[in-house]
């Protein structure tokens, strides 16, 4: 089951069945990835580029993302 977290800049996908619990995300951006909070992913706690870089370190592919366009005015 894939979980989705999103804001205007980024959409984060988490596939728990793929997770190998490397803790790269928890150590990389603890303000975003916090297993003691619900939801455990707070994508408003850091810039989209920071989240992207952190997710790129996920060895299992359990975390992935899609960058979104900001609203054009």
Q: What is the CATH number of the domain that holds 61?
A: 3.30.70.20
Residue 12 lies in a domain: yes
Residue 29 lies in a domain: yes
**pLDDT reported for residue 40:** 96
| pLDDT tens, per residue, the chain with 73 residues | 899 999 999 999 999 999 999 999 999 999 999 999 999 999 999 999 999 999 999 999 999 999 998 654 4
- Which residues does 22 contact at the CB level (< 8 Å), separation at least 6? 58, 59, 60
Residue 42's CB: how many other CB atoms inside 10 A? Answer: 16
Residue 72 lies in a domain: no
Residue 46 lies in a domain: yes
What does pTM read for this prediction? 0.90
Residue 33 lies in a domain: yes
**Helix/strand/coil for 9:** coil
Range of the domain at 13: 3-67
């Amino acid at each position: 089951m894939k979980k989705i977290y999103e804001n205007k800049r980024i959409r984060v996908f988490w596939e728990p069945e793929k997770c190998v619990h490397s803790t790269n995300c928890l150590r990389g951006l603890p303000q975003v990835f916090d297993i003691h909070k619900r939801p455990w992913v707070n994508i408003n706690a850091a810039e989209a580029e920071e989240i992207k870089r952190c997710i790129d370190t996920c060895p299992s592919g359990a975390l992935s993302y899609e960058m979104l366009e900001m609203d054009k005015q």
